[in-house]
Amino acid sequence: MRNDKPVVLIGAGGGSRDLLDVLLACGREVAGFVVDPQYAAPGSIVNGHPVLGGFDWLSRHVNTVEVICGVGASEQRFRLIQRAVALGAVFCSAAHPSVIFTSKMEIGEGSCIAAGCILTSNVRIGNHVQINVGCTLSHDTILHDFVTLSPGVHVAGNVTLLTGCFVGIGANIIEKKTIGAWSIVGAGSTITKDVPPNTTVVGVPGRVIKTRPEGWHLS
């Protein structure tokens, strides 16, 4: 059931401005942005909408709004969402009207699908996932919580993207592969085998160039 409370966006950078366009295209009322004061002063105007304040503002209005986060980096979005959850925030999701998908798709709370995306049968999207413009997801793909797909990512069938992984612009993932939790796939890469968790993979075919300690996304 649709909730018509005004929406507040966490963050006011490029990702949040793109998300603002999606929400407006969906006919949602947007109250403004919640931004830590070192990044934008309350009262600043971003694409016609005000910066309302920081999380202190959200704590006072959490029962009157819905929330969604537009910050693109998976680990930063994770940390911001935890702060909002602690305040009791209720999250909305949004899919641009141009998105093509079937009735068999599932989408969790706080997730966004941008313009021009195509999702085929039995695609499952977790919570606080971002799918940017022009992505394609084939049948039986699963995106776990906090996954980010940059513009123009193409994902074949039966692919699983685990929690928090970030896929760079124009990357391709062939069928039946698993992208590990909190991993990063570089722009333009082609993934032909499973990606280990907490690694950075680049190239065609993709190869591991960096490994991070478990829990790196928390700091």
Per-residue pLDDT of the chain (219 residues; tens, 9 = 90+): 356 799 999 999 999 999 999 999 999 999 999 999 999 999 999 999 999 999 999 999 999 999 999 999 999 999 999 999 999 999 999 999 999 998 889 999 999 999 999 999 999 999 999 999 999 999 999 999 999 999 999 999 999 999 999 999 999 999 999 999 999 999 999 999 999 999 999 999 999 999 999 999 998
pTM over 0.85: yes
The per-residue pLDDT for 177 is: 98
The per-residue pLDDT for 1 is: 38
> Candidates 2.60.120.10, 2.160.10.10, 3.20.10.10, 2.40.50.140; correct CATH number of 98-205?
2.160.10.10
The per-residue pLDDT for 132 is: 98
* Residue spans per domain, the chain: 7-86, 98-205
Closest CA to 68 of 141, 127, 145: 127
Cα-Cα-Cα-Cα dihedral of 139, 196, 149, 130, to 10°?
90
The per-residue pLDDT for 219 is: 87
What b-and-e string marks burial along 169-199, b requiring 16 or more CB atoms within 10 Å of the CB? ebbbbeeebbbbbbbbbbeebebeeebebbb
The per-residue pLDDT for 3 is: 61
The per-residue pLDDT for 123 is: 97
CATH code, residues 7-86: 3.40.50.20
